[in-house]
Structure 1
């Protein structure tokens, strides 16, 4: 569990600390997948651009006089198959990471909303309720998790 969450002393009970630690873990998972997805987009765009420039310069431009010749030259070289497979594979990876990112975001958002909905139950005592804003501010400052409102 996070040290800053452990240091919350009397403001929260152990179950609430576990919930806060879980929402931090979900946030980190989401942020990691978001970064990997952004990287996959950039790599895909780079590889696709290089591949299509290669095809244009080595196949299309020299043999533009005949569509049959373009097709024959394209199929004759095995590097074109590898380039197409790499581009298609990166496109698939990009979509896979997008789906994982969206799933992780949904899990994170659901857990965050659950904490917001249950805040009256989690901070039952009067002094805990008055000090819950300290917990919310700590979560916002350290982990960039907004527990004040359900909207993103």
Structure 2
């Protein structure tokens, strides 16, 4: 468990600390998928752009007189086929990472909303008046907003 979560005072019980720790873990997982997806997306776009530029210089310009000659030259070269498969594979991997990112965001948002909804049960009596310290810690350290449910 994170040391800053452990150091919270006694008015935050162990179950609440564990929920906050799980929330931090899900936020970090979501941020990781978000970063990986963005890097892979831009890599896919860049490589596809370079491939299209290469195709235009090497294939489209010399064989623009005939569609049949263009297709024949494309299919006969294994380099063009392999580069096409690479681009398709990169965009497929981008889609898979996008799906994982969306799932991680949904899990993170559901747990965050659960903590917000159950805050009256998690902090009772005097602890209710001090919960803003936990909210400020979560916002400043991990950029997790527990004040409102909206994203």
TM-score range, shorter chain: over 0.9
Corresponding residue for residue 67 of structure 1: 67
> Is residue 13 of structure 2 the alignment partner of residue 9 of structure 1?
no
Corresponding residue for residue 32 of structure 2: 32
Q: Deviations over 1:95-143 (max 9, x none)?
A: 000000000000000000000000000001x210000000000000000
C-alpha distance in structure 2 between counterparts of 1:77 and 1:11, whole Å? 70
C-alpha distance in structure 2 between counterparts of 1:57 and 1:78, whole Å? 17
> Is residue 145 of structure 2 the alignment partner of residue 143 of structure 1?
no
Corresponding residue for residue 126 of structure 2: 127
C-alpha distance in structure 2 between counterparts of 1:67 and 1:115, whole Å? 61
Deviation (angstroms), 1:11: 2.7
Structure 1 segments (4+ residues) deviating >6 Å: none
User: What TM-score do you get using the length of structure 1 for normalisation?
Assistant: 0.98
Aligned length: 151
Corresponding residue for residue 97 of structure 1: 97
Deviation (angstroms), 1:10: 1.4
Computed over aligned residues only, the root mean square deviation of the Cα atoms, in angstroms, reads 0.6
Corresponding residue for residue 53 of structure 1: 53
C-alpha distance in structure 1 between counterparts of 2:47 and 2:22, whole Å? 37
Structure 1: where are the runs of 5+ without partners?
none
> Is residue 83 of structure 2 the alignment partner of residue 83 of structure 1?
yes
